[in-house]
Structure 1
Amino acid sequence: MSFSRRNFLIATTVAAGATTVLSACSSGNAGGDGGSSTKAPQGKAAKITVGTKTDSQGPAPEMPGARKGGTIYTLDQIDFDHLDPAQIYSSYTGAGSVLFLRGLTGYRVDSKGNTTLVGDLATDAGTVKDGGKTWSFTLKDGVKWEDGADVTIDDVRHTFERLFASFVTEGPRYPQGWLEGGDKYKGPYEGKHLSSIETDGNTVTFRLKEAHADFPFMLAMRGFAIVPKKHDTKKKYDQRPYSCGPYKIQSRSVDKSLTLVRNEHWEADKDPCRNGYPDKVVMQFGFQSLASTDRYIADSGNDQYALSLLNEVAPERITKVFGDATMKKRVLTQVDTTCYYFPINMTRIKDVKVRQALNWAWPAQQLKQQRGGSAVTATATTIISPLTPGHVDFDLYGKKTKPTGDPEKAKALLKEAGAEGQKIVIAFQQSDKAVKEAVTIKNALTKAGFDVVTQQVDKTTFYSEIGQLDNKFDMFAAGWGPDWPAGYAVIQPCWDGSQIADGGVNWSQLDNTSVNKAIAAATAITDADKANAAWGAIDKQIMELAACVPDYNPIRNYFYGSKVGGVVYNAGDTCVAIGKVFAKA
């Protein structure tokens, strides 16, 4: 998979969640909690089950105390980068566009935040054959577009064929790589169909080159929401998509607002994922986290009915908000699925003992303190985050027992490797935050016997530079969030040897035969529990090779107004489930 817009937002800290975590800074003792008295939540691997046909029918589970009517507002930093589903690869955009874009599959969330993969426009989450190489989905009867026309199986086929068009440049590209014949297909606009997408009555069948047990989860990405063939304006569709969800677009002022009103043709009984409580949703952009936080603190006027999908509690207000019991009740706190880590360039650092020494010497607690403590960051010991299926809790390098690092253990490993005084060149994205973190890391690794050189690289070119196979760095700060909640979406893009290429995201250039075989085997496992166990084992296998230093998982703190009800987390879309919120009376 090529480096995605979704993960570009994560890795370059454009997303407010990352900005909040990375810009937080405070003083205190190394063994302390960064000045925050708030304990981090204990994240658990998300248990996202695959629902039944009954689960897929609709309506969505009701929220206690919910009422219909009123207006919900949002306060966020940036506008959605795309509205054409084929171009959507930002998890933030995906989470917001759930109100008007629907796919074959989606996530059903109940009042407690329990998340289930179900058929959204499809009658169920798919039927599999050929050990995971053939997937079929039957379209629900009577689902309407905003103009009253039926959503058809031709719309479904057209949606996936248009993914191959030349104007589609920024969306996820899994179908293009997975479908038979996808390497030669150029799109539907010259009247040609892709033979590996077959339709029969109201059923569509996808034939894949290889088995992919996660195919229904992949389809739940908003990048694969259905587009009406009749209203496909190609590149211009990005300006005004059609809706088959509870809301349609009334107006848009780029970088300022997006106003959604009811789609009168939407039927709750055919939608298991969205409740559609408010009459209107007004999304507002251009608010930095500090500005939105202060408005939530004031809690007046329309802001009482506002929430954020991207912005979080500003670091300057963490103590104030979490120190007030009333305000704290209006914060949804969630460990994020993103893992920030430092890949180790295995073409330059070939000795596993040297790579292990880097892990043992890592100043996890000192870095956590600099970022604002356990209210905004959780120390990572694994590549797969605690909220992602496939996570297995292990700590190979003693971060829990010695969170400030174990320089003596690192020195011993360097001595065994005959690498005392090993030079390590570490690249960071240029920022004031990175300068401070570079000093902390350099001090810790120097104490452990390394000769450390830190380099600040411009943010606009950082990922281009570390993505080159012949880059001159030994380690670099990076981050990855899964495209859907599964171990595959964490491990395969970044750690499979087949993904080593200029511009790729296997930044460590790990090409281990045993790991590659394990990834191929895990990809084809259709039993969820067995697949999760397999991905967890691969995570541990990679960490035994010390291909990276896991650094931290951000903790998201979503603040909202006092008259917003139904605020729960969607573990599938990894955001607030905006389709379930309501305006209190």
Structure 2
Amino acid sequence: MKHRTSAKMVLAGLTLALMGSAGAFAQEAQTGGTLRVLGTAEVDRFDTVPPATADTGSFFRAVSRQLINFAASTDAEEQIAPQADLAESVPTPTDEGLTYTFTLRQGANWDAPDGPRQIVAADVERGFMRLCNPSIPAPAVSYFEDLIVGFAEFCSGFADVEPTVEAMKAYIESSDVEGIETPSENTVVFKLRYAANDFIYLLTLPVTTPAPVEVLDYLPDSPEYRENFISNGPYTVESYVPDTQVTLVRNQAWEAASDPLRKAYVDTIEIIAGVQPDAAMQQLQSGDGDMLYDINVPPVTVQMLTMQGDEKISTLAEGASRMIWINTVSENNDGALRNPLVRQALNYAVNKAAIVQQLGGPEFATPLNGIFPLGILGHHDFEPYPTPNSEGDVEKAKELLAEAGYPDGLSLKMPFRNAGNGAAEAQVLQASLQEAGFEIELIPTPAPDFYPRLITNFDNALNGVWDLVPSGWSPDWPGGAARSIFQPQYTYDGTHGTFNFSDYNNEAANEVADRALATSDLAEAEQLWNEVDEIVMADPPTVPLISQTTVLYHGAAVQNFLPYAAGGNGDWTNVWLSR
């Protein structure tokens, strides 16, 4: 089935189909208790600067605050409406869209070592400065480098700083970003080089979290950083056992009156790693667990719960997608994957319908033919590599391989994330690709290593450690988020991007994307993002697989379960427990 996403649909936001949610509001709110959140992998980052998986958004929601954020809500329009968080209000830009002025809320505090301390404008600027730290790549820096006046120059200077704590701290403390002005302790002014219709959305990203001066004494996300964690959210880290558990407790410096988005009903949040999906579902149903972290509800379980009329199940279409990345920079097979014909053959070969079925059927996934999934401005109905019923076209793939000079096929290495549905997905992909002449070596990779150590390390691509890699992506914010898909994954400015796994770049697509971001006409933006999609897919660096629907489930004790679209799950900071 083909779907078309209109501008009106994108404005309406994420589609949330709740079943029987009325019971969640039947009781009065209760404070106290321990919320048990179950996951297969651990929280992979405590620091908001380094790259992190989309699931970490729920963790950052609990321990950090930004100028702007989103409400947890069952209302689709409210889910994507930017809300004031640390800022007193959402400002209207001045100077023809080039200036944004924010006033900080009073009572918004750090749990600093010497006691609660008000968050000030310098903390906001310091948070942006840390994005340029060369000791650990921050993929989101690309959103701001050419947008904020002087930010690219600041980052360029940081690249020459000796990678020691002392030198990096000295550079930040002795510098300023020209386009981030702090005229008073409670006022921050951003000056932009050009009007960008999604700047307010960019400020919802965890990477824009202000930074207290104390964090400059540690390398980003180092063991020392984690041991001396400083929160500005309603919860903070009490203890951390690697690969096992993170325990959050109330941040005593947090003042409820200063936070319009988080109620913080529970006293403690335990995020428990190493739990497999079936076991997690059993614990939720028995009452030994409450919510899920990085676990997809197994399709068979969903079907059973739906038949039983279980009111604790719901779905959220958050713009998530799955794709295969193609390594175009290594010398494997004499650089065969640099040939567009080979990459096109891969697009024809894959049986996307089989992936949909592996995920549980059309209720859970839809075949995807471009870089923008359902629910994202830019998604449209086109098939650059059409196959019958999305089941792949083996003969067409073989024809292109032969035309490219590989009539006997190619042998390719494909690591996969050995968690959740990773192994099953890899086997489905292997089967369809092998039919078309691609001999696929599957390489299981532990979940904690897959993104942080293997795929986001560009040297592994350059050295041919992998040829293909199944990957997932969720937009960095709800709503019109085409930039958050295109820019980090499909642009290259000379600096290796963390999630652009093979330095793909297309100047024609970049030029059209710039126009899409500058216009205030939503219909025009939609058409331009459509054009971006078509330009990229004519010379494909990826094989789009599916748009994914997230199935949400929680234990019976969880009340007021409200989806937080930016985290792709229920909001830990707004539920309470009936036990």
Structure-2 residue corresponding to 1:403: 390
Structure-2 residue corresponding to 1:184: 157
2:538 corresponds to 1:538: no
- CA separation in 2, counterparts of 1:85 and 1:462? 20
| Alignment deviations for residues 517-568 of structure 1 (CA, whole Å, 9 cap, x no partner) | 2123234345555434422331133224444321123443332111212223
Q: Secondary structure at the match of 2:414?
A: strand
Structure-2 residue corresponding to 1:151: 119
Aligned length: 520
Given that residues 461 and 502 in structure 2 are in contact (C-alpha distance below 8 angstroms), is that contact kept between their aligned partners in structure 1? no
Q: Secondary structure at the match of 1:429?
A: strand
Q: Secondary structure at the match of 1:108?
A: coil
- Amino acid aligned to 1:122: A
Residue 569 of structure 2, aligned match among 559, 566, 575:
575
Name the CA shift for 1:439/1:580 in 2 (closer, same or farther; >3 Å): same
Name the CA shift for 1:86/1:391 in 2 (closer, same or farther; >3 Å): same
List alignment gaps of at least 5 residues for structure 2: 14-23, 162-167, 329-334
- CA separation in 2, counterparts of 1:527 and 1:562? 45
2:226 corresponds to 1:238: yes
Structure-2 residue corresponding to 1:480: 473
CA RMSD, aligned part only?
A: 4.1
- CA separation in 2, counterparts of 1:76 and 1:474? 29
Structure-2 residue corresponding to 1:111: 74
2:173 corresponds to 1:173: no
| Alignment deviations for residues 182-231 of structure 1 (CA, whole Å, 9 cap, x no partner) | 21145554541323222112321234566544333222122222233367
Deviation at 1:128, TM superposition (A): 3.8
| Alignment deviations for residues 350-409 of structure 1 (CA, whole Å, 9 cap, x no partner) | 77666555434432223333454445543222211213343334344445x623234566
- Amino acid aligned to 1:423: G
2:248 corresponds to 1:259: yes
Structure-2 residue corresponding to 1:23: none
Structure-2 residue corresponding to 1:161: 129
| Alignment deviations for residues 208-258 of structure 1 (CA, whole Å, 9 cap, x no partner) | 566544333222122222233367653434334333333344555553241
Name the CA shift for 1:266/1:167 in 2 (closer, same or farther; >3 Å): farther
Structure-2 residue corresponding to 1:454: 440
2:354 corresponds to 1:366: yes
- CA separation in 2, counterparts of 1:256 and 1:558? 22
Residue 79 of structure 1, aligned match among 34, 42, 46:
42
What is the TM-score of this pair, normalised by structure 1?
0.75
Name the CA shift for 1:46/1:581 in 2 (closer, same or farther; >3 Å): farther
Deviation at 1:348, TM superposition (A): 4.0
| Alignment deviations for residues 4-51 of structure 1 (CA, whole Å, 9 cap, x no partner) | xxxxxxxxxxxxxxxxxxxxxxxxxxxxxxxxxxx9x999965478xx
Structure-1 residue corresponding to 2:489: 494
- CA separation in 2, counterparts of 1:425 and 1:155? 51
Deviation at 1:180, TM superposition (A): 4.0
Name the CA shift for 1:528/1:43 in 2 (closer, same or farther; >3 Å): closer
Given that residues 128 and 208 in structure 2 are in contact (C-alpha distance below 8 angstroms), is that contact kept between their aligned partners in structure 1? yes
Structure-1 residue corresponding to 2:104: 139
Which moved further from structure 2: 103-112 or 140-149?
140-149
Given that residues 311 and 558 in structure 1 are in contact (C-alpha distance below 8 angstroms), is that contact kept between their aligned partners in structure 2? no
Q: Secondary structure at the match of 1:488?
A: helix
| Alignment deviations for residues 490-540 of structure 1 (CA, whole Å, 9 cap, x no partner) | 112322353685x76545665444223212323434555543442233113
- CA separation in 1, counterparts of 2:340 and 2:241? 54
- CA separation in 2, counterparts of 1:413 and 1:332? 43
- CA separation in 1, counterparts of 2:493 and 2:513? 11
Structure-1 residue corresponding to 2:183: 200
Given that residues 103 and 222 in structure 1 are in contact (C-alpha distance below 8 angstroms), is that contact kept between their aligned partners in structure 2? yes
- Amino acid aligned to 1:334: L
| Alignment deviations for residues 297-346 of structure 1 (CA, whole Å, 9 cap, x no partner) | 223xx54xx112222324674554444322xx222333453322234567
Structure-1 residue corresponding to 2:57: 94
Given that residues 143 and 487 in structure 2 are in contact (C-alpha distance below 8 angstroms), is that contact kept between their aligned partners in structure 1? no
Q: Secondary structure at the match of 1:200?
A: strand
Structure-2 residue corresponding to 1:24: none
Q: Secondary structure at the match of 2:86?
A: coil
Question: 1:261-410 to 2 correspondence within 5 Å?
Answer: 261=250, 263=252, 265-268=254-257, 270-299=258-287, 303=289, 306-314=290-298, 317-326=301-310, 329-335=311-317, 337-344=319-326, 348=336, 355-356=343-344, 358-374=346-362, 376-398=364-386, 402-407=389-394
| Alignment deviations for residues 90-129 of structure 1 (CA, whole Å, 9 cap, x no partner) | 3322312312311111112333353111221113344545
Given that residues 512 and 532 in structure 2 are in contact (C-alpha distance below 8 angstroms), is that contact kept between their aligned partners in structure 1? yes
| Alignment deviations for residues 26-83 of structure 1 (CA, whole Å, 9 cap, x no partner) | xxxxxxxxxxxxx9x999965478xxxxxxxxxxxx9675513132332223432333
- CA separation in 2, counterparts of 1:371 and 1:584? 33
Given that residues 181 and 194 in structure 1 are in contact (C-alpha distance below 8 angstroms), is that contact kept between their aligned partners in structure 2? no
Structure-1 residue corresponding to 2:18: none
- CA separation in 2, counterparts of 1:413 and 1:529? 36
What is the TM-score of this pair, normalised by structure 2?
0.75
2:434 corresponds to 1:440: no
Question: 1:211-250 to 2 correspondence within 5 Å?
Answer: 212-229=196-213, 233-235=217-219, 236-250=224-238
- CA separation in 1, counterparts of 2:495 and 2:341? 23
- CA separation in 1, counterparts of 2:461 and 2:55? 28
Given that residues 62 and 572 in structure 2 are in contact (C-alpha distance below 8 angstroms), is that contact kept between their aligned partners in structure 1? yes
Q: Secondary structure at the match of 1:441?
A: helix
- Amino acid aligned to 1:154: A
2:530 corresponds to 1:557: no
- Amino acid aligned to 1:69: T
Name the CA shift for 1:155/1:466 in 2 (closer, same or farther; >3 Å): closer
Given that residues 330 and 562 in structure 1 are in contact (C-alpha distance below 8 angstroms), is that contact kept between their aligned partners in structure 2? yes
List alignment gaps of at least 5 residues for structure 1: 1-38, 50-61, 446-450
Given that residues 489 and 501 in structure 2 are in contact (C-alpha distance below 8 angstroms), is that contact kept between their aligned partners in structure 1? yes
Q: Secondary structure at the match of 1:338?
A: strand
Name the CA shift for 1:434/1:427 in 2 (closer, same or farther; >3 Å): farther
Name the CA shift for 1:420/1:241 in 2 (closer, same or farther; >3 Å): closer
- CA separation in 2, counterparts of 1:165 and 1:542? 30
Q: Secondary structure at the match of 2:249?
A: strand
- CA separation in 2, counterparts of 1:443 and 1:77? 30
Which moved further from structure 2: 161-170 or 118-127?
161-170
| Alignment deviations for residues 262-287 of structure 1 (CA, whole Å, 9 cap, x no partner) | 6465134x433223333443444443
Given that residues 323 and 470 in structure 2 are in contact (C-alpha distance below 8 angstroms), is that contact kept between their aligned partners in structure 1? yes
Quote the sequence identity (%): 22
Q: Secondary structure at the match of 1:149?
A: strand
